[in-house]
Amino acid sequence: MGGRETLLERRRDDYGALRITENGEGYRFLYFGELTEQSCVHVADPAWLEYDYTRAMLLGTWWARPHPDMTLLGLGGGALANALVRHFEPSRVQIVELREEVLALAREWLGLSDDPRLQVHIGCAEKYIGNAPASCDLLLVDLYLEGGLSRLQLQAEFFRKCQQALRPGGVLVINQWQMGETGLPYAAAMLADLFGDQFLQVQVEEGNILLFVPAVGEPPLPLDKPAMQAWAVGLQPRLGYSLEPYITNLHRAADVLSRHDIG
């Protein structure tokens, strides 16, 4: 997004520098360090999702049961949490955020919802999820630091615990980076070893790849694109944007893995 940005706030914690900026088009940005744009929030509508990858993450709600318990690992600016609470009727949204200052900035500058269903826990995602077996119906993993992917996003045991945190019928959504121009997530071999051919994926323009994984012991997620497209059409007036492009590009991860002799 272009345009000059004005610095609104600068803070530092044990993990590094944090900045809030605003441009002339009504958007505020959360930066980790000096260069890493971590989140973008529309001031007039903090539940608006500007990034493709956050919009694509919403596809996980298609498979979730009605009024699901949701867990989000990584708060960022809070736009994804706001969207989940406003548009998808969860019973609750539990958020785990490592940095207390990130939460403070989201509340003070980025319009984090005060809906009582949204509960934020400050602490380590690995420790939290390891103590939360069968605790949620939808688990969204969006863990990034100033240097990029959190180390947890490359650890098999962490993702094993994430999958175990799902109730029967639950869905795990993982935001990973793409490995070059391969169409593969960074942790492709590990993920294939963990989940086999049970998961779906979609690639978005920012370079992210979103993965959708069923709970332990569940069959592969159904991929009924016509039904999903109809669902997206119904959501569009509420969201203000369409999820149809991500559904169109959604496919079995095994299709890509097999072309690279992975899995």
31 is a domain residue: no
115 is a domain residue: yes
What pLDDT shows up at residue 240? 97
Q: Is 137 a catalytic residue?
A: no
14 is a domain residue: no
CB 109 within 8 A of CB 101: no
Under-50 pLDDT residues of the chain:
none
Which residues constitute the domain of residue 114?
51-259
Chain length of the chain: 263
What pLDDT shows up at residue 102? 96
11 is a domain residue: no
CB 209 within 8 A of CB 202: yes
162 is a domain residue: yes
What pLDDT shows up at residue 110? 98
For 126-170, write each residue's pLDDT tens digit: 999 999 999 999 999 998 776 677 778 778 899 999 999 999 999
What pLDDT shows up at residue 178? 79
What CATH number does residue 185 fall under?
A: 3.40.50.150
What pLDDT shows up at residue 36? 77
Question: Considering its fold, how many domains does the chain have in total?
Answer: 1
| Per annotation, catalytic residue among 115, 137, 142, 197 | 142
What SS3 class is residue 22? strand
Rounded distance, CA 248 to CA 95, Å?
29
Q: Which ranges constitute the DSSP H helices of 9-63?
A: 52-57
28 is a domain residue: no
9 is a domain residue: no
For 195-215, write each residue's pLDDT tens digit: 887 789 999 988 899 999 999
Output the CA–CA distances (angstroms, integers) from residue 130 to 13, 123, 159, 166, 200, in the order listed. Answer: 25, 12, 10, 12, 24
- Is the alpha carbon torsion for 220, 138, 48, 104 positive or negative? negative
Q: Which two tokens stand for residue 75?
A: 């708060």
1 is a domain residue: no
